[in-house]
Amino acid sequence: MVNALNRPGTLKIVNIKTWVEEQIWGHRFHNDQTPWMLMLEFLGLCANRLQVSEDGRVFTGFFGTDHEEISYTLQTRETLRYLLFQDRHLEDCLREPFTSDASRFDVWVGRASADADTDFHYLKRAFVDFGSLANAISLLRSAEVEQQHNRRPSSRHLAPQGATMLMADYNPKGGSATQDRRFFSRGGELLYLMLNRSQQRERLDELIRTRLLRGDNPWCNLVERLTPPMGGSRNVAASVGYLPLPKHARYDLIAEDWTALLSLPGLPNDYLLEPLVGLSGLGIMLYIIERAAETLGRAGPPPVPVDMISAGNTALRKLSIEHFHQHRQLTRDAVKHAVCAVEQTDAWKQAVVSDNPNPAATAVLADRFLCEKMLRPKQSPAQQINAVVDQALKNHNTHLGLVGGAYAQASGLAIARKGAGRWYALSDSLLEALVLANVREPLEYSEFLDRLHKRYRLVVGPVAAENAFDDFPAPREQFKTNQERLEERLRVLGLLRRLSDDCAFVENPFV
């Protein structure tokens, strides 16, 4: 790709049949990695950087010439995970009759120690009684993220209030602890690289250290009390993935959102993560469709019309559904275009007119897309290109091609209804996150809508619709009603105050 950085030498190219998506978006975004998993992978990398860097900084710095080659480790925290996600003896001992609390504690220690092959006697020194231990474990269990997914213990995580609550996502088979790339599939590493290359890097470094990685709070204190003296953990080694472009406008916009949220002194630390997750998911979704449009040579991707009317099969809802599907198709078109663009290179033009065009074409494709194993040198150049396109689209349709839609829904930008499909609509949590990141002093409602359109491509009211489309693609009255419904949502959430018929202001309650 134009202006792309070279692949880092430490990146292992494994299980990749064609290096096509990676040239456009990076290595890699995966639909099984939710925005929450992306956030946890990112913070784990940041915590390790803070621990091992000589200058005590999170970000390495970026000088625009070489890809960052960063190795890091994450802790498995197996003993903690057993206590939180595997032990069932605790509930049994709470139900069973015992003559004393001490005997209840002793019985539980014996059962759990035998089950986990770990000596839990240290917990009798850490907690004054069995009830205190049970309460601590119950409280930390309540902090588990995405409990509805029912993942294996080594893929279950806590919403971190400090570095000690961060854990690796690993494969425990065979007694080893190796990095599992299903849920920590490098999206968090790419977010790290984006922020490391942003103009907000210096300010963000300080904010992440002081607001997200400090451990002087009750949550981290509980984790430390549950952790055995020798740690009860192993290290899982990893190295960062590949992000092709040294700079991009979306890197800076995501970084600005992070800086804005972390700079709110009135926003409690335990309330920070959800808006960060939502806006990060939104930012990645927009990055994916923007890079697709850029690959295709377009001025910009189709806008994001948001339907807040929520009643009936309106023209506005149909427009929103249509654009949801357009964005997904846009990424497929970008993959195909990226492969076929090889035909315009000098190397390809020379190959097809050479004495042996078939193997010559194979060499060009193998060098550009790292796909030598799947090519057939006996096929014509055109057949080989078609084979690369087919394989790249097959890969795309099962993973990265699903990320945009999945992240839109997970971050609160899209909803799905049986029989109606998916369309763009703002959830209360994402709407609040947008206010927190974009409003510092009372902001006139029309200016807020204009900011949503310019920064996130969101089309709500008639003014944005007129700017985004050549002609109104739905009745103007529906866009006006849409704008009124969003205003009402903001008012109910306590984020908007109307002073008169012509004057309403969006307000950030944490400023």
> Which of 141, 145, 132, 43 is CA-nearest to residue 86?
141
Please state the rounded mean pLDDT for residues 389-407.
Answer: 96
State the distance between the two ends of the chain, measured CA to CA, in whole angstroms. Answer: 42
In this structure, the dihedral spanned by the alpha carbons of residues 240, 242, 245 and 250, taken in order and rounded to 10 degrees, is: -60
Please state the rounded mean pLDDT for residues 182-195.
Answer: 97
If you search the block for the tokens 């400023």, which residue do you land on? Answer: 511
pLDDT score, position 208: 98
Q: How many distinct structural domains can be found in the chain?
A: 1
Residue 488 placed within a domain? no
pLDDT score, position 132: 97
pLDDT score, position 10: 62
Q: Is pLDDT above 70 for 397?
A: yes
Please state the rounded mean pLDDT for residues 89-115.
Answer: 95
Residue 389 placed within a domain? no
> Which of 333, 393, 374, 367 is CA-nearest to residue 15?
374
Residue 71 placed within a domain? yes
Q: How many CA atoms lie within 13 A of 220 on its CB side?
A: 16
Residue 261 and residue 510 in contact, taking contact as beta carbons nearer than 8 Å: no
**Among the ranges given (18-22, 33-37, 231-235, 457-461), the one the predictor scored with the smallest mean pLDDT:** 231-235
Residue 380 placed within a domain? no
Please state the rounded mean pLDDT for residues 52-56.
Answer: 92
pLDDT score, position 15: 65
pLDDT tier, 1 (very low <50, low <70, confident <90, very high otherwise): very low
Reduced to 3 states (helix: H, G, I; strand: E, B; else coil), residue 374 is helix
pLDDT score, position 355: 96
Residue 121 placed within a domain? yes
Q: How high is the mean pLDDT of the chain? A: 94
Task: Using a pLDDT cut of 70, give the percent of the chain over it.
Answer: 98
> Which run of H or E residues covers position 392?
helix 381-398
Tokens of 503: 């004057």
Q: What is the pLDDT of residues 134-149, one digit of tens each?
A: 999 999 999 999 999 9
Please state the rounded mean pLDDT for residues 151-156.
Answer: 95
Residue 354 placed within a domain? no
Structural domain including 41 reads 20-247
Residue 239 placed within a domain? yes
pLDDT score, position 500: 83
Q: Is pLDDT above 70 for 14?
A: no
Q: What is the pLDDT of residues 290-305, one digit of tens each?
A: 999 999 999 888 999 9
pLDDT score, position 202: 96
Residue 504 and residue 440 in contact, taking contact as beta carbons nearer than 8 Å: no
| Residue 114: other Cβ atoms inside 10 A | 11
Q: Is pLDDT above 60 for 286?
A: yes
* Buried b or exposed e, range 274-300, using 16+ CB within 10 angstroms: bbbbbbbbbbbbbbbbbbbbbbeeeee
Q: Is pLDDT above 70 for 259?
A: yes
pLDDT score, position 12: 61
Q: What is the pLDDT of residues 407-423, one digit of tens each?
A: 999 999 999 888 778 99
Residue 64 placed within a domain? yes
